[in-house]
Structure 1
């Protein structure tokens, strides 16, 4: 089959029935399993096992690098990547003759759901994809009418040693706001950027949410104290654990939403 790939601005020719998938994006891997097609996943990144229990597919690399000999041995019908920093890897694999389909990095929760439908199209099961999206939407919309005066929130993301916050051009902003908070930087037309800590201090958000990775752990209490942030706030700590990961765009985001609302509203 030929299917148009917008990031590549061309049609991509793939097998009419895709049976052997290598997914290098953990959110896509989790989505495929959630739709009931996990048996077709033969290769994954080293991060995918965080979100799929008892995953026994071959680990072929990480987000930016792959073992080409392992990849060739799997004889994939489809390799899934995304845009952003992963696009260079995708283009390199295409040049080497691999069947790659690139899905866009979502700028909003709607982009996440659109990618689910795209995956359904690749698997010839758009119906299952749309059912998953509708379930996801129900979880996100549940109780939203009660969130009138949203408390303010600052989100601090640690990508390794790199500090970033969230603007209005990321689905993470939507997760925060559907949970009932108001991101203090939602009006910034960027996805992620270095936070102006003095401005955070002057705005005194009611909730401060930290995300960090296990390789580079942080202590939120210690960070807050070192900055002299002594106003009345509640700290929330997000990690890579499925159901507590703010930056993960797979179906466990539904559990993350429920967990986050419990942290906010009790």
Structure 2
């Protein structure tokens, strides 16, 4: 079997892989979506439980999550490469490598540029460089359409339900998207990516628009969020424009954040 070595910037090593990749296990939703958008979804044999974009990925066997994997299934598939992220999956990556699997971890995107960079990294593993250039051209074109799209001084507060209220700081793809559109995240001077909001700072920031992303959007969830605003003594937010996104929409770190998330943000912030 012909092989190749592909450099991985996170491991700072050249990963030994088959020259032609025919069996992929993807444990990262963004990577799974990228492979399908490259037109190579038929190579994916199993994914993590959270890879449901596109619909074809949802139908694939689910082999694990961010922190564990079914080794019996993994042995049966005998993948050429396992794609992961390197945030919450760092320990899983180490264990998979110790077990002798070829693992290619990807950086967790913190900007739209990072999403584009991961397209390059994935395509390099899969010998899909020309396909990636076409996809990147499409994504860059969309970003260009929305650069300074709003051109107005709007302050935005973003909140996710991640088992409790979590907001975003400077190094996130959502903050970068807001900046590209021409508006500002009220916590964009914070060094951390995700954290519990400081309500005193939020009051002083006085955002114009609130974006809330629940785990799953329902009418009951909208009511629950309004109630939580009152319970947290943030009633002033009720006078602002409040926008609800569907679950795992803005939090998603794949290319569809650019194709769908960026246009959605432009529409609700206009």
Fold-level match, TM-score > 0.5? yes
Residue of 232, 237, 243 corresponding to 1:236: 243
Cα separation, 2, equivalents of 1:79 and 1:174: 29
Unmatched runs of 5 consecutive residues or more in structure 1: none
Number of equivalences: 260
Match of 1:54 in 2: 56
Superposition map of 1:83-162 within 5 A: 83-159=86-162, 161-162=163-164
Match of 2:262 in 1: 257
Superposition map of 1:1-266 within 5 A: 1-49=4-52, 51-55=53-57, 56-159=59-162, 161-214=163-216, 219-226=224-231, 227-230=233-236, 232-240=239-247, 245-253=249-257, 254-265=259-270
Secondary structure (helix, strand or coil) at the match of 2:235 reads: coil
Cα separation, 1, equivalents of 2:149 and 2:67: 42
Secondary structure (helix, strand or coil) at the match of 2:95 reads: helix
Secondary structure (helix, strand or coil) at the match of 1:105 reads: coil
Describe the shift of the 1:62–1:215 C-alpha distance in structure 2 as closer, same or farther (beyond 3 A).
Answer: farther
CA contact under 8 A between 1:83 and 1:102: conserved in structure 2? yes
Cα separation, 2, equivalents of 1:72 and 1:31: 24
Secondary structure (helix, strand or coil) at the match of 2:88 reads: helix
Runs of 4+ in 1 over 6 A off after TM superposition: none
CA contact under 8 A between 2:93 and 2:105: conserved in structure 1? yes
Deviates more, 1:150-159 or 1:208-217: 208-217
When the two structures are superposed, what TM-score results if normalisation uses the length of structure 1?
A: 0.91
Secondary structure (helix, strand or coil) at the match of 2:160 reads: strand
CA contact under 8 A between 1:175 and 1:246: conserved in structure 2? no
CA RMSD after TM alignment: 1.9
State the 1:130 CA deviation. Answer: 2.1
Deviates more, 1:17-26 or 1:201-210: 201-210
Secondary structure (helix, strand or coil) at the match of 2:56 reads: coil
State the 1:177 CA deviation. Answer: 2.4
State the 1:181 CA deviation. Answer: 2.3
Describe the shift of the 1:74–1:119 C-alpha distance in structure 2 as closer, same or farther (beyond 3 A).
Answer: same
Cα separation, 1, equivalents of 2:192 and 2:89: 19
Deviates more, 1:100-109 or 1:17-26: 100-109
Cα separation, 1, equivalents of 2:120 and 2:264: 25
State the 1:175 CA deviation. Answer: 2.1
Deviation per residue, 1:138-179 (Å, 9 max, x gap): 2122142443323000111222x1432111111121122234
Unmatched runs of 5 consecutive residues or more in structure 2: none
Deviation per residue, 1:63-86 (Å, 9 max, x gap): 211111011111100100111111
Deviates more, 1:219-228 or 1:82-91: 219-228
